[in-house]
Amino acid sequence: MTATSRTKARRVPMPEQPPEQRVGNFREVPLGYTLEQAQAEAARCLGCKKAPCREGCPVSVDIPAFVRLIADGRPAEAAACIRQTNCLPAVCGRVCPQETQCEARCVLQRRGESVAIGRLERFAADFEQAADQVYLPTTAASTGKRVAVVGAGPAGLTVAGDLALRGHEVTVFEAFHKAGGVLVYGIPEFRLPKRIVQSEVEYLERLGVRIELNQVVGQSVSVSDLLDSEGYDAVFIGVGAGLPVTMGIPGENLCGIYLANEYLTRVNLMRAYDFPAVDTPVVRGSRVCVIGGGNVAMDAARTARRLGGEQVNVLYRRTMDELPARAEEVHHAQEEGIDFRTLCAPIEYLGDDRGFVRQVRCQVMELGEPDKSGRRRPVPKPGEQILIDADLVIVAIGSGANPLLTRKTPKVALGRYGHIVANEAGATSLPGVWAGGDIVTGSATVILAMGAGRAAAQDIHAYLMEHSNRGAGDTAQPEPAAESAAA
């Protein structure tokens, strides 16, 4: 392909399950590229020397190199290339907001449509899985250092993978009975199949990472136990932002009103869509209101649609222009018949005599002056209220900082809202302890958590090697290193 034909070629569309079919199942919506489609799309890449796309990637995947390998018909090698800096390629290919990261920097974006980097990443990762050609890099020689990772979500898994590659002994402690964090409890099957997460976790286990499930660090073992008596040389905290926010409005605790985390956890992790074949139930509603406009709200609305929601409304207090969800998620939701009721803020829930929600009273809003975030602030339109029928409400307005670990770890400094204070490399105020992901930043994205994990892993590695050089000769006793760090 010549440079001119490359810039003129249209993006290869991704085949999808048609909306009327997919609202009746939980199978994945985008079906993935074939090799031919992937090669055609990869051929559009100009192979820029400066590679602005790579600068847009929080984990600096070598995008031109892996895209080139796909174009050359070498997808397994493309996957191996991605794995050099990203241990969860099949996940990122599906859930990263590429349109604001790598693809936004693509030179072709200015001339029309960027290379579909996310779709190609997914293709390469799926190809190596399907062909059973997952490349397993050789890990560095054992350093004798032990690292505890708290939380098996995107941040923790990234740290674990990176440090295992460098020869450290890594144990991940996960509170749930399954590893993956938000990837298994939050993101629905139709956006990220659980088998994908499972195989990424298995990949890490093959690298030598040990995963201890059902361990609530802070409760069954403390961070200081890990450092002082359990013999770990460093601890990474990636527990997520798990403490959902409530609005504090009348009726918010009626039955049939869920905070999004609970609704999604019941359906995803506990598989309530399969009740009574599994034991965990979930309230099904035909008239559903989802409060909020982020990706979690989209996931909740589309899940409710698949569980029998006939009229599913997303209530958002600003307008479509301010909606924070990814464009692709909004598009998919609209295709599935979900209605967006903007400039609409719930102020009260009304229930029946059994305590189940029946209606949502909403205040009609209008946009006023811009607020601190630069978005125009919604203000109530005096005297304008509406009632919307609802037998299921899902509140998706975000999460605060979970206190379980931090309240038992007083030496780790917290910010005003209870999030852990960490520097760019993830180091906290307690030597030997790093943190990253939503427990530091508040609710953000999978890839940002992974980026934080990558940075922390580098810093932890440097710290461990520095200490091993100092303590040369007593690598058999890792504790003194940790103690000198704490002193």
21/220 with CB nearer another protein: 220
Residues ≥6 apart with Cβ < 8 Å to 192: 91, 94, 95, 183
- Report the alpha-carbon distance of residue 18 to residue 331 in Å, rounded: 13
Nearest CA-CA partner of 454 in 99, 88, 137: 88
DSSP for residue 252: T
The whole-angstrom separation of Cα 300 and Cα 175 is 23
Alpha helices in 207-307 (DSSP H): 223-228, 260-267, 295-306
Question: Measured between alpha carbons, how far is 134 from 90 in angstroms, rounded to an integer?
Answer: 12
Smallest distance, Å, CB 308 to another protein?
A: 14
Q: For another protein, which residue of 248, 382, 383, 473 counts as binding (CB under 8 A)?
A: 248
The token pair at 341 is 């009721």
Question: DSSP character for 177?
Answer: S
Which one-letter DSSP state was computed for residue 338?
A: P
| Candidate list 246, 423, 477, 484; residue touching another protein; CB under 8 A | 246
Query: Does residue 232 belong to the site contacting another protein (CB under 8 A)?
Result: no
Closer residue to another protein in complex, CB, 213/387: 213
Of 133 and 214, nearer to another protein (C-beta) is: 214
Rounded to an integer, what distance in angstroms lies between the CA atom of residue 268 and that of residue 197?
Answer: 12
In the stretch 393-412, what mask flags binding to another protein with x, by CB under 8 A? Answer: ---------xxx--------
Nearer to another protein, 219 or 429 (CB): 219
Whichever of 102 and 175 has its CB closer to another protein, that residue is 175
**Cα-based distances in Å from 338 to 114, 192, 262, 386:** 28, 20, 21, 19
The verdict on 229 binding another protein (CB under 8 A) reads: no
| Least CB distance to another protein at residue 114 (A) | 36
Tell me the window of 55-63, 132-140, 219-227, 413-421 that interacts with another protein (CB under 8 A).
219-227
For another protein, the closer of residues 56 and 256 by Cβ is 256
- H or E segment and range at residue 439: helix 438-441
Q: Tell me the CA distances in angstroms from 28 to 24, 55, 328, one per residue in order.
A: 12, 30, 14
In sequence order, what are the residues at sequence separation of 6 or more whose Cβ sits closer than 8 angstroms to the Cβ of residue 106? 52, 53, 114, 115, 117
Q: Which amino acid is at 432?
A: G
Closest approach of Cβ 260 to another protein, in Å?
Answer: 9
The beta-carbon contacts of 30-34 under 8 Å, at least 24 apart in sequence, are 30/94, 30/119, 32/119, 32/122, 32/123, 32/126, 33/119, 33/120, 33/122, 33/123
The rounded Cα 105 to chain-centroid distance in angstroms is 22
- Of the residues 261, 313, 359, 428, which one makes contact with another protein according to CB under 8 A: 261
Q: Does 201 bind another protein (CB under 8 A)?
A: no
Reduced to 3 states (helix: H, G, I; strand: E, B; else coil), residue 168 is coil
Q: Does 256 bind another protein (CB under 8 A)?
A: yes
Question: Least distance from C-beta 234 to another protein, angstroms?
Answer: 21
The answer to the question of residue 292 lying near another protein (CB under 8 A) is: no
Binding segment for another protein among 59-67, 259-267, 379-387, 431-439 (CB under 8 A)? 259-267
Task: Output 337 or 418, the one with its CB closest to another protein.
Answer: 418
Question: Applying CB under 8 A, which part among 88-96, 153-161, 278-286, 477-485 lies near another protein?
Answer: 278-286
Q: Measured from the CB of residue 214, what is the shortest distance to another protein in angstroms? A: 5
Residue 136 touches another protein, criterion: CB under 8 A: no
Which residue, 66 or 176, has its beta carbon nearer to another protein?
176
Question: Which of 130, 140, 213, 462 touches another protein (CB under 8 A)?
Answer: 213
Q: From the centroid of its chain, how far is CA 289?
A: 24
Stretch 141-180: interaction string toward another protein, x if CB under 8 A? ----------------------------------xxx---
Count of residues touching another protein (by CB under 8 A) = 43
214 binds another protein (CB under 8 A): yes
d(CA 17, CA 13): 13
15 near another protein (CB under 8 A): no
| Residue among 114 and 441 whose Cβ is closer to another protein | 441
Nearest distance, CB of residue 264 and another protein, angstroms: 9
Q: Select the residue interacting with another protein from 49, 110, 354, 372 (CB under 8 A).
A: 354
Between 5 and 220, whose beta carbon lies closer to another protein? 220
C-alpha span between 344 and 317 (Å, rounded)? 5
Distance CA 147, CA 365 (A): 50
Contact positions vs another protein (CB under 8 A): 175-177, 185, 213-216, 219-221, 240, 242-244, 246, 248, 252-256, 258-259, 261-262, 265-266, 270-271, 275-281, 283, 354-355, 402-404
